[in-house]
Amino acid sequence: MRDWFRPHHMVHRLEELDCATLRERGLRGVLLDLDNTLAPWRSQEVSGAVEAWLARLRTYDLRACVVTNAAHTRRVAPVAERLGLPWVTSAYKPLPHGFRRGMALLDTEPETTAMIGDLMTMDIIGGNRLGLYTVLVEPMCNREALLTRWLQRPLEALIGRRPRCCKLV
């Protein structure tokens, strides 16, 4: 159970993740958290660096899908559509249903899918429980939901935000 809390890999920012290495690991799809992973919390602004990373991802024949706990399509859809990505809202991470919906959209299985997000308690635990390759990124900004700030981040501090390994192998 302790391994549920540990990502396979950690990066400071999404765009630091090497797409070629993901493909070499046999991955075919990537599930991406929205808030503080693709865009700042509750924002629809995506940086040029993230857009460039997604373009690189496609050159390696990797598909991506936004999987978010956000309930409102009106906030998620504009970002996902602009990036050319399918999306899953109300994922209820870390429960498995939202991850499975995302994998169905990508036509991937757990062993060929990565989950990338900024929350160990949602993205990493949920991905690890399903057998996904998990990548923890640092949150893009300090703004986040009160529940995240008061409960999830202190829990992460107790657990420790350390990866299983230092680099993709």
CATH of the domain at 37: 3.40.50.1000
Q: Per the domain annotation, does 59 fall within a domain?
A: yes
Q: Per the domain annotation, does 169 fall within a domain?
A: no
pLDDT tens by residue, 114-156: 999 998 788 999 999 999 999 999 887 566 665 555 556 556 6
Count of domains forming the chain? 1
Residue 78: Cβ-neighbour burial (10 angstroms; 0-12, 13-18, 19+): exposed
Q: Per the domain annotation, does 73 fall within a domain?
A: yes
- Per-chain mean pLDDT for the chain: 86
Average pLDDT over residues 89-102: 96
> Quick one: which H or E segment has residue 30?
strand 29-32
Full domain range(s) for residue 144: 2-159
pLDDT value of position 151: 55
The CA distance from 116 to 123, in Å, is 7
pLDDT value of position 163: 43
pLDDT tens by residue, 15-44: 999 999 999 999 999 999 998 899 887 677
Q: Per the domain annotation, does 86 fall within a domain?
A: yes
Q: Which of 120, 105, 112, 132 is nearest to 28 (CA)?
A: 112
Q: What's the sign of the alpha-carbon dihedral 151, 89, 12, 113?
A: positive
Give the confidence band of 158 by pLDDT, cuts at 50, 70, 90.
low
pLDDT value of position 161: 56
